[in-house]
Amino acid sequence: MPPDAKLDRERLAALYGEVRAASVRIAAPLRTEDCVVQTMPDVSPAKWHLAHTSWFFETFVLKNAPGYAPLDARYEWLFNSYYNGVGAQFPRAQRGTLSRPGVEEVLAYRRHVDAAMQRWLREAPSEVVAPLLEVALVGLNHEEQHQELMVTDLKHVLCTNPLEPVYRSDLRTAAAIADGAPVTPATLQFAEVEGGVFEIGHAGGGFAFDNEGPRHRVLIEGCSLARRLTTCGEYLEFIADGGYRRPELWLSDGWDVVRREGWSAPLYWKEQGGAWSLMTLGGLRALRRDEPVCHVSYYEADAFATWAGARLPLEAEWESAAGGEPIAGNLLEHDALHPLPAAAGESRWAQLVGDVWEWTASAYLPYPGYRAWSGVLGEYNGKFMANQMVLRGGSCATPRRHVRLSYRNFFGPSARWQMTGIRLAR
């Protein structure tokens, strides 16, 4: 746990209420049936997310609170995601087979946990609360992580449905904010990133996950990074140039996936008579050439970069280039739930924070001197440090409070149901 997190239990209780309410708000526009479906093993039903985030507080905080009684002891197994130190788990790929507990029962489970957490945070003796305050803070950051997953998972549920259902029709759109404001420069420009020895990793002063530290030195050769994200227009040129049919552009594993899955465009793209549309959480609409390409895998990002005569940035290059950038942009609270065209402006980087998670060419590995959190929570991050690539910068589905410039997201190289896109380097 971060030793320097200054935690005030009253403030944490208030924050707890805000963060927990935000999860329920994301699920609110869904019909009951939408909350139960699992469209692929990586996707969890919204109902499961709502239950599992409650399970986290119950398992890691409340079970240590004197007098706490679980609502249903079987939930310990049912809603455990991957913590072997807690016990066995209900199989991940079968989460969508459970009609019970129903959505109403899961919401009752949330209320049960919330009431106990508020009582514990506000009333329990400080010697009981103090050792677990940081775990409660982890629980809130965990909940925020699942808010993003809830958005991307419900997107997969709705956007793979042939009836093209709309999640919300009142989302902020590029068209609505256009009015001359967002203008993606037609010509892609690059900005220099100085070479030298730099420090990366979380510098302390606030919450961070264990995988963001320790802060350490890295050697960066001079390079340049694209000043904005790769657009759909640029990606269309890659497709038109036979990008998905040319094995010389692809990593070997990536080419296998392209052939096996029959990929010919990013996820949620649809072509009819030469015109491209996108399925979004606001429904099906025409593709805009100036919007960032989203829902590409690492393999697609890498093949595109190769085709463009460039490469993907290393995470150290990204973090050193990002130094000092504000945590602001098209994040969850911006309420677009889709990446937006770059705004015209003077700033060095556009869309660095928000819009899409940017694939890096860095494998997800421990930093030098990495130590996992102690106890069962040590399973949170460290055990996934194989066969995954790092992504940086947050997305249009990431809560603003959640992301940092040192934040290391990670997914397998063929994953593309997250809000993932491309910033070129060379």
Binders of Fe ion in range 380-399 (CB under 5 A): none
Specify the residue, 110 or 228, whose C-beta has the smaller distance to Fe ion: 110
Specify the residue, 59 or 280, whose C-beta has the smaller distance to Fe ion: 59
Contacts 24+ apart (CB under 8 A), 96-105: 96/36, 96/37, 96/38, 96/39, 96/43, 96/45, 97/38, 98/36, 99/36, 101/51, 101/72, 102/32, 102/47, 103/32, 103/35, 103/36, 103/47, 103/50
Among 23, 81, 152, 395, binds Fe ion (CB under 5 A): 81
Beta-carbon-side half-sphere exposure of residue 109 (alpha carbons within 13 Å)? 28
Measured from the CB of residue 383, what is the shortest distance to Fe ion in angstroms? 13
Measured from the CB of residue 36, what is the shortest distance to Fe ion in angstroms? 19
Contacts 24+ apart (CB under 8 A), 366-375: 366/211, 367/201, 367/211, 367/212, 367/213, 367/214, 367/216, 368/214, 368/216, 369/214, 369/216, 370/210, 370/211, 370/213, 370/214, 371/210, 372/210, 373/1, 373/138, 373/210, 374/1, 375/85
Specify the residue, 149 or 305, whose C-beta has the smaller distance to Fe ion: 149
Choices 76-84, 242-250, 290-298, 315-323; region in contact with Fe ion by CB under 5 A: 76-84
Q: Is 369 exposed, middle or buried (0-12, 13-18, 19+ CB in 10 A)?
A: exposed
Cβ pair 215, 373 in contact under 8 A: no
Measured from the CB of residue 132, what is the shortest distance to Fe ion in angstroms? 18
- In this structure, which amino acid lies at residue 352? L
- For residue 391, the cross-strand partners are 359, 409
Measured from the CB of residue 390, what is the shortest distance to Fe ion in angstroms? 19
Tokens (6 digits) for 84 = 């072997």
Choices 78-86, 179-187, 253-261, 266-274; region in contact with Fe ion by CB under 5 A: 78-86
Measured from the CB of residue 311, what is the shortest distance to Fe ion in angstroms? 32
Residues in contact with Fe ion, counted by CB under 5 A, come to a total of 1
Specify the residue, 52 or 338, whose C-beta has the smaller distance to Fe ion: 52
Measured from the CB of residue 175, what is the shortest distance to Fe ion in angstroms? 35
Closest by Cα among 366, 379, 417, 385 to 81: 379
Specify the residue, 81 or 184, whose C-beta has the smaller distance to Fe ion: 81
Measured from the CB of residue 56, what is the shortest distance to Fe ion in angstroms? 6
Listed in order, strand segments (DSSP E) in 118-172 are none
Residue number of the CB closest to Fe ion reads: 81
Choices 13-21, 80-88, 307-315, 364-372; region in contact with Fe ion by CB under 5 A: 80-88
Specify the residue, 268 or 410, whose C-beta has the smaller distance to Fe ion: 410
Measured from the CB of residue 57, what is the shortest distance to Fe ion in angstroms? 11
Specify the residue, 75 or 349, whose C-beta has the smaller distance to Fe ion: 75
Angle at 336 between CA 334 and CA 339, to 5 degrees: 105
Choices 73-81, 348-356, 404-412, 413-421; region in contact with Fe ion by CB under 5 A: 73-81
Choices 19-27, 74-82, 166-174, 205-213; region in contact with Fe ion by CB under 5 A: 74-82
Choices 75-83, 87-95, 195-203, 288-296; region in contact with Fe ion by CB under 5 A: 75-83
Q: Which residues bind Fe ion (CB under 5 A)?
A: 81
